[in-house]
Amino acid sequence: MSIPSRTQVAIIGAGPSGLLLGQLLHRAGIDTVILEQRTPDYVLGRIRAGIIEQVTVDLLVEAGVSERMFKEGLPHDGFELCFSGQRHRVDMHALTGGRRVMVYGQTEITRDLMDARQASGAPIVYEATEVALHDFGSSQPSVSYTHQGERHTLQCDFIAGCDGFHGVSRASVPASAIQNFERVYPFGWLGVLSDTPPVAHELIYSNHERGFALCSMRSNTRSRYYVQCSLQDQVSDWSDQRFWNELRSRLDPDTAEQLVTGPSIEKSIAPLRSFVAEPMRFGRLFLAGDAAHIVPPTGAKGLNLAASDIAYLSRGLIEHYQEHSSAGIDAYSERALARIWKAERFSWWMTTLLHRFPEKDAFDHRIQRADLDYLVGSQAALTSLAENYVGLPMAA
């Protein structure tokens, strides 16, 4: 594939954000080049949450990449909360007037988007290193990068920084122009993937005095489980046996008994963080997805927020090219941040409700239990939980 030296939108990063933006713009006849520092296999090797909100499902339909998701994904109408040895079902479908979520791995979405990119013939450069952003404060921005030992420059109209939390895009903005908001949590999640049938048809979020646990799934034969762990823990501290015993100890007796265990096929520890950078536009540079914000995984909002950023950004860029109006791109940052902060609040709240915080005392533990008791006994509180879990609406 020959890589052009000029494009309309230069996209940095080929995670879900960059690939989805590339796909939506391609369908609108807008040229893009995607620059990704890693290999496709590396990108597909990352395992992340897989709960897709209805608005994200709709966007994947609009992008023309929903076929396999509808075939292989599992629609879920509810999930369960477990505490004090009992499970309580949250009937999302009934509480939200018929809305639901789709369980479909983020890795699969990324694969579908990669396949669509390849089918479109639009350029994507893997192993593009030393990416540098230039002149995004002017009307003629550009991006330079090294590929196969050679330095290249890509001229463009706009740069989309879709390069994740550790990317170069946010780091290229002068510190005085950006404000960061952050909360780091004093624990991590140890995750295990295994080819065993999920313990239940729906997800179980468990609050236990030994710490949080989550029973999730990728299919009817593949499970994904998590336990809250210490930030000092190493994966090598956790044999499969130790993991299964710990998970079992944090579930109600019935579920614990039904748990089918087996060898792990992936095991990793992830820290938990809330983070937002404001604003999300700097002249002709836009930040989207994890490049601009991080949520803790409780509630699985990461991918869904990336998708709503991309919905707003793609609409703004399409409006710019097709209608010569800058209204959409001018509103991008404010519109995206309004939805982001609500999901930040929800993810922080769910994390606080369900985890054991090392610094908290007996009073805090009683308040947490009262919060859970109130929640499962109140239609109003359950409705609020359900409407956030299925995903808040996007601005028109």
Binding site residues, ligand APR, CB under 6 A: 12-18, 35-38, 43, 48, 106, 128, 131, 162-164, 167-168, 289-291, 302-303, 306
- Closest residue by beta carbon to ligand PHB: 216
- 298 contact choice in ligand PHB, ligand APR, none (CB below 5 to 8 Å, kind-dependent): ligand PHB
Q: Are 6 and 153 in contact (CB under 8 A)?
A: no
Q: For this structure, is 152 an active site residue? A: no
The one of ligand APR, ligand PHB, none whose footprint includes residue 50, by CB under 5 to 8 A per kind, is: ligand PHB
Q: Which of 10, 19, 33, 51 binds ligand PHB (CB under 6 A)?
A: 51
Return the one option of ligand APR, ligand PHB, none that residue 200 interacts with (CB less than 5 to 8 A, by type): none
* Separation CA 75–CA 81 (nearest Å): 18
Vertex 273: Cα angle to 376 and 268 (nearest 5): 90
Is the bond preceding 358 in cis, omega lying within 30 degrees of 0? no
What does 299 interact with, of ligand APR, ligand PHB, none (CB < 5 to 8 A by kind)? ligand PHB
Q: Which residue, among 21, 77, 52, has the nearest Cα to 315 in the 3D structure? A: 21
CB of 299 to ligand PHB, least distance (A): 5
User: Which one of 16, 26, 76, 104 is the catalytic residue?
Assistant: 76
Give the nearer residue to ligand APR in terms of CB position, either 16 or 391: 16
Give the Cβ contact number of residue 12 at 10 Å: 29
Distance CA 318, CA 241 (A): 52
Does residue 145 have an active-site annotation? no
Minimal distance, residue 51 CB to ligand PHB, in Å: 5
Q: Considering CB distances under 5 to 8 angstroms, the limit depending on partner class, which of ligand PHB, ligand APR, none binds residue 131?
A: ligand APR
Q: Binding to ligand PHB by residue 50, rule CB under 6 A? A: yes
Give the tokens for residue 385. 């939980």
Instruction: Please indicate whether residue 374 is annotated as part of the active site.
Output: no
Least Å distance between CB 291 and ligand PHB?
21
CB 29 within 8 A of CB 318: no
Among ligand PHB, ligand APR, none, partner that 164 touches (CB below 5 to 8 angstroms by kind): ligand APR
Taking CB under 6 A as the criterion, which residues in 200-219 touch ligand PHB?
A: 203, 214, 216
- Cα 194–Cα 295–Cα 396 angle in degrees, nearest 5: 115
Q: How far is the CB of 276 from ligand APR (least distance, A)?
A: 14
State the Cα angle at 51 between 83 and 193, rounded to 5°. Answer: 75
Annotated catalytic residue within 104, 145, 332, 389:
389
Q: Is the dihedral of CA 272, 276, 277, 283 positive or negative?
A: positive
The residues in 142-161 that bind ligand PHB, with binding defined as CB under 6 A, are none
316 makes contact, choosing from ligand PHB, ligand APR, none, with CB < 5 to 8 Å by partner type, with none
Pick from 265, 264, 220: nearest CA to 246: 264
Q: Among residues 24 and 229, whose Cβ is nearest to ligand PHB?
A: 229
Taking a C-beta distance cutoff of 8 angstroms, is the pair 45, 30 a contact? no
Q: Does residue 224 touch ligand PHB according to CB under 6 A?
A: yes
- Rounded CA separation 385/114 (Å): 34
**CA of 207: how far to CAs of 48, 223, 330, 350, in Å?**
21, 19, 43, 11
Q: Check if the beta carbon of residue 146 is closer than 8 Å to that of residue 129.
A: yes
Binders of ligand PHB among 298-357, rule CB under 6 A? 298-300
Closest CB 300 distance from ligand APR, rounded Å: 8
Alpha-carbon span 388 to 336, nearest angstrom: 16
Least distance between ligand PHB and beta carbon 50 (Å): 5
Binding residues vs ligand PHB (CB under 6 A): 49-51, 203, 214, 216, 224, 297-300
- What positions carry a catalytic annotation? 76, 205, 297, 301, 389
